[in-house]
């Protein structure tokens, strides 16, 4: 079946540091891939997405590239800010099967000034 | 405001009781999804409705049920509550098949005492 594996957190960084959060997936079809962010006390917000291999999703300085050969969708940001502190979830959707989003367990990011 | 409205925001109830959580999807979205978020299990997909019909089931207990009404709002019913049912319950909505991702509500925090 389909699944998503994220690196375990927490990830603790200083402001302006480089961020990578690893995400790999297992899928039988050709999924769409997503990163969601959850700020404290809030629901999940879509951060970026990619719908096919080699697509790069980007938003608010965050980027992730859909790598079919390595089944990965790692999240990166060149310079994090304190306001980026949140929980980040990688997710996949098997469009052909119309199945619900499957999420990784989430990675907590804490950025200090 | 994401456009997905969940009520109530907080709920405290005793073991053995029954509660109903309500969700109004974003305008124009026909699909509604329910997720349970707990510290140990992460985000677990419970059930999906599309235009009033059940479309997919995930890890939903038999004590739980849901429905989607003609006006597209959805209700999640949790009965014979146990301490382990304490969690955040999120509703999300999307267009057909959800290939562009979901829009999440801010969740209902259920505490069973």
Which residue in B42, B56, B106 is closest to A43 by CB distance? B106
- CB contact at 8 A, A85 and A18: no
Partner-chain contact A100 B107, CB within 8 Å: no
Q: How confident is the model at residue A109 (pLDDT cuts 50, 70, 90)?
A: very high
**Model confidence pLDDT, tens digit, residues A81-91:** 999 999 999 99
pLDDT digits (tens, 9 = 90+) for B78-112: 999 999 999 999 999 998 666 678 999 999 999 99
**Per-residue pLDDT tens digits for B33-68:** 999 998 877 899 999 999 999 998 998 999 999 999
Pick among A39, A101, A108 to test the B interface (most B CBs inside 10 A) = A101
For residues A86 and A81, give the distance between their C-alpha atoms in angstroms, rounded to a whole number: 11
Contacts A–B by Cβ distance under 8 A: 55
Of the two residues B74 and A98, the one the predictor is more confident about is B74
């Amino acid at each position: 079946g389909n699944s998503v594996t994220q690196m375990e957190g927490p990830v603790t960084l200083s402001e302006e540091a480089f961020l990578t959060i690893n995400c790999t997936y297992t899928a039988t079809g050709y999924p769409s891939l997503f990163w969601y962010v959850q700020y404290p006390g809030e629901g999940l917000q879509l951060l970026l997405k990619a719908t096919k291999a080699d697509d790069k999703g980007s938003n608010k300085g965050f980027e992730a590239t859909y790598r079919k050969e390595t089944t990965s969708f790692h999240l990166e940001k060149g310079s994090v800010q304190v306001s980026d502190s949140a929980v980040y979830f990688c997710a996949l959707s098997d469009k052909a099967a119309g199945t619900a989003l499957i999420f990784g367990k989430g990675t907590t990011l804490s950025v200090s000034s | 405001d994401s456009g997905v409205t969940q009520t109530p925001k907080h709920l405290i109830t005793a073991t053995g009781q029954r509660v109903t959580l309500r969700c109004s999807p974003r305008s124009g979205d026909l699909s509604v999804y329910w997720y349970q978020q707990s510290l140990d299990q992460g985000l677990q997909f419970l059930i999906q409705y599309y235009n009033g019909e059940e479309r997919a089931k995930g890890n939903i207990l038999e004590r739980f049920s849901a429905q989607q009404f003609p006006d597209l709002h959805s209700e999640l019913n949790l009965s014979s509550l146990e301490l382990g049912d304490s969690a955040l319950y999120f509703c999300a909505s999307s267009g057909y098949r959800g290939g562009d991702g979901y829009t999440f509500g801010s969740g209902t925090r259920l505490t069973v005492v």
